């Protein structure tokens, strides 16, 4: 074998043995598997406004922010051993108070501009209207609330229970399936 032929064989082997992948430990899979929050806050009060007007005010004992490849969201909850609950004040497009939501846990999805409330959810709106459910979804874009399961609405004139409650933020225009309830009539 000539020196030139030997060089052609040994040079690639030498180059390959000197090159290797360095493992940084960070992969797409490791990012997806990271379940922890990117930041945490205790006793936060958060304000979200639109066009200079308030849209949401959220208050909790604890808040954790999560940034994932496909979404960014925050989870608000109470701390273990504390009796306070998460409170969200919703304001209409004019900046007026629309409703107040209390829940054990609220997850706010920033891109979708919606939140889900879970655990002993109570919504109070003007006109002595109350909604009680275990799960509620609020969409800023549609300005509506929806409960996928069982819910009870109490107004000055009625108490209705059923499934798949859907309403405007003020709880005035609503629908309910499989309804049971009491209607208070005004006797003249």
Please report, for the domain that includes residue 40, its CATH number: 2.60.450.10
Instruction: Say if residue 14's pLDDT is above 80.
Output: no
Distance between CA 128 and CA 100 in Å, rounded? Answer: 12
Residue 6 lies in a domain: no
Look at residue 168 and tell me if it is in a domain.
yes
Does this model's pTM top 0.85?
A: no
**Over 80: is that where the pLDDT of 18 sits?**
no
Domains held by the chain: number: 1
Cβ-based neighbours of 176, under 8 Å, separated by 6 or more: 151, 153, 160, 161, 162, 163, 164, 165, 166
Residue 115 lies in a domain: yes
Give Cα 163 to chain centroid, integer Å: 21
44, 27 Cβ separation under 8 angstroms: no
58 near 86, Cβ under 8 Å? Answer: yes
Q: Is the pLDDT of residue 3 over 90?
A: no
Position with higher pLDDT, 78 vs 119 = 119
């Amino acid at each position: 074998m000539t020196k030139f032929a030997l060089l052609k064989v040994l040079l690639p082997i030498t180059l390959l043995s000197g090159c290797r992948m360095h493992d940084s430990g960070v992969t797409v899979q490791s990012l997806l598997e990271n379940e922890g929050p990117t930041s945490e806050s205790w006793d936060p009060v958060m304000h979200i406004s639109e066009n200079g007007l308030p849209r949401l005010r959220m208050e909790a004992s604890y808040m954790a922010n999560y940034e994932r490849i496909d979404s960014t969201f925050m989870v608000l909850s109470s701390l273990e051993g504390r009796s306070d609950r998460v409170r969200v004040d919703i304001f209409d497009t004019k900046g007026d108070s629309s409703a107040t939501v209390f829940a054990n846990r609220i997850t706010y999805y920033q891109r979708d501009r919606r939140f889900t409330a879970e655990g002993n959810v109570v919504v109070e709106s003007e006109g002595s209207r109350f909604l009680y459910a275990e799960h509620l979804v609020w969409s800023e874009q549609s300005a509506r609330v929806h409960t996928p399961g069982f819910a009870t609405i109490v107004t000055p004139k009625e108490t209705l229970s059923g499934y798949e409650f859907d309403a405007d933020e003020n709880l005035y225009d609503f629908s309910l399936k499989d309804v049971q309830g009491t209607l208070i009539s005004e006797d003249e």
